[in-house]
């Protein structure tokens, strides 16, 4: 009997996060029409919270109407695992749940898309996002005596139009217009104030990549003035900053000076499923190692006693494929 009780106790302990740690999983690009087996591996991590980094449904169509979006949300509600609703869930959108591919501020149905988004994610009726344009927000997570300032950016609602080359295989190029923006004036003002909140670690969630520049797709560096402005602002912080991003259907870790970025994409819509696996292997001077192209999720494990955190990219089966330890 004593042996049985001991066994049960061990099993009970294994179902909870270890004291002195806080675990945040995150990911992006979750197609409601594809199977989602990766949730089994995420569940085994015994996370405290999960952050959706955009493309949380694929509901956009070329015309921009929201009929498919409504159906996508309805199906995704059935696909998400029930245990996830017992966790703290935070979310930002990207283009495919914003309403139109690579869309920005000129999208005419963005207000309607925001309401659909807020309704699906059960955002409270008195939340400021119900009365303010854009879905940006933040929260302070406190675990033991450790505070995390989780800042969730909106890189769609206010973003200026992209510039691109002409031809059969166009690529996005820099928009050097001094008035061009990613965040818009109000969100920039809010961000400057929010970064000053009392915290031991700042986590910036952005749907598109900040540090990576050596690819032809959407990224912060398509708007060089905004790109420099954000990096300067984050580097000036007295609190360590970690950036999490999605969008790319690949995962990687980047580092530049005091800034670290981990990109996790895709939860279930990989490059091979998009017929992009024949493109040249991507490189970047700031990338640590190389990119991982299989299904993946990101994991941040904060050691609140040691004042450190570990970032990992894990594959479909929960195996670590990329990692970095950071001491604060």
Cα 241 to Cα 83: distance, rounded to the nearest angstrom? 30
| Residue 1 reports pLDDT greater than 50 | no
Q: Where are the beta strands (DSSP E) in the chain?
A: 21-27, 49-52, 88-91, 137-143, 146-152, 163-164, 172-173, 201-206, 241-245, 251-256, 259-263, 287-292, 296-303, 308-315, 320-327
What are the tens digits of pLDDT across the range 8-33?
333 333 334 567 999 999 999 999 99
What are the tens digits of pLDDT across the range 34-55?
999 999 999 999 999 999 999 9
Domain 22-327 fold: Purple Acid Phosphatase; chain A, domain 2 (3.60.21)
What are the tens digits of pLDDT across the range 238-252?
999 999 999 999 999
What are the tens digits of pLDDT across the range 109-139?
999 999 999 999 999 999 999 999 999 999 9
- Mean pLDDT along residues 306-316: 97
Q: What pLDDT band is residue 202 in, cutting at 50, 70 and 90?
A: very high
pLDDT on residue 169? 81
Residue 133 class from Cβ within 10 Å (0-12 exposed, 13-18 middle, 19+ buried)?
Answer: middle
- Do residues 32 and 270 lie in contact, with contact meaning Cβ atoms separated by under 8 Å? no
| Residue 5 reports pLDDT greater than 80 | no
What are the tens digits of pLDDT across the range 131-175?
999 999 999 999 999 999 999 999 999 999 999 998 888 889 999
Cα 164 to Cα 217: distance, rounded to the nearest angstrom? 10
- Mean pLDDT along residues 229-240: 98
What are the tens digits of pLDDT across the range 252-274?
999 999 999 999 999 999 987 66
206 vs 281, more confident: 206
Q: What pLDDT band is residue 56 in, cutting at 50, 70 and 90?
A: very high
Sequence-ordered list of residues with C-beta below 8 angstroms from that of 100, at least 6 positions apart, any chain: 60, 61, 62, 64, 107
Q: Which of 53, 56, 100 is nearest to 79 (CA)?
A: 56
Q: Which of 279, 162, 268 is nearest to 218 (CA)?
A: 162
pLDDT on residue 3? 41
| Residue 281 reports pLDDT greater than 90 | no
Cα 252 to Cα 295: distance, rounded to the nearest angstrom? 12
Q: What pLDDT band is residue 190 in, cutting at 50, 70 and 90?
A: very high
pLDDT on residue 278? 54
Q: Determine how β-strand 287-292 pairs with β-strand 308-315.
A: unpaired
Q: Which of 90, 190, 202 is nearest to 146 (CA)?
A: 202
What are the tens digits of pLDDT across the range 64-96?
999 999 999 999 999 999 999 999 999 999 999
Q: Which of 94, 109, 89, 104 is nearest to 30 (CA)?
A: 94
pLDDT on residue 168? 82
- Do residues 29 and 76 lie in contact, with contact meaning Cβ atoms separated by under 8 Å? no
> At how many degrees (to 10) do helices 110-120 and 67-79 cross?
20
């Amino acid at each position: 009997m004593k042996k049985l009780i001991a066994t049960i106790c061990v099993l009970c302990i294994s179902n909870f996060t270890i004291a002195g740690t806080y675990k945040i999983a995150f990911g992006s690009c979750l197609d409601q029409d594809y199977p989602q087996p990766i949730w089994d591996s995420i569940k085994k991590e015994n996370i405290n919270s999960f952050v959706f980094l955009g493309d949380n449904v694929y509901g956009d169509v070329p015309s921009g109407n929201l009929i498919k979006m409504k159906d996508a949300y309805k199906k995704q509600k059935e696909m998400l695992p029930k245990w996830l609703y017992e966790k703290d869930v935070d979310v930002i959108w990207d283009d495919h749940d914003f309403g139109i591919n690579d869309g920005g501020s000129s999208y005419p149905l963005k207000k309607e898309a925001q309401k659909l988004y807020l309704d699906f994610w059960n955002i409270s009726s008195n939340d400021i996002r119900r009365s303010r344009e854009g879905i940006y927000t933040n929260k302070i997570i406190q675990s033991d005596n450790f505070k995390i300032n989780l800042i969730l950016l909106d890189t769609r609602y206010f973003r200026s139009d992209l510039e691109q080359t002409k031809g059969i295989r166009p690529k996005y190029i820099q928009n050097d217009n001094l008035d061009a923006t990613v965040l818009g004036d109000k969100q920039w003002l809010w961000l400057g104030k929010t970064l000053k909140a009392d915290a031991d670690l700042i986590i910036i969630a952005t749907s598109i990549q900040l540090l990576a520049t050596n690819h032809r797709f959407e990224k912060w560096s398509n708007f060089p003035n905004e790109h420099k402005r954000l990096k300067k602002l984050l580097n000036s912080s007295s609190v360590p900053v970690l950036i999490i991003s999605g969008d790319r259907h690949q995962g990687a870790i980047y580092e530049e000076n005091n800034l670290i970025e981990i990109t996790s994409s895709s939860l279930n819509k990989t490059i091979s499923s998009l017929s992009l696996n024949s493109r040249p292997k991507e490189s970047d001077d700031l990338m640590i190692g190389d990119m991982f192209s299989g299904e993946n999720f990101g994991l941040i494990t904060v050691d609140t006693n040691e004042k450190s955190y570990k970032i990992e990219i894990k594959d479909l089966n929960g195996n670590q494929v990329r990692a970095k330890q950071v001491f604060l």
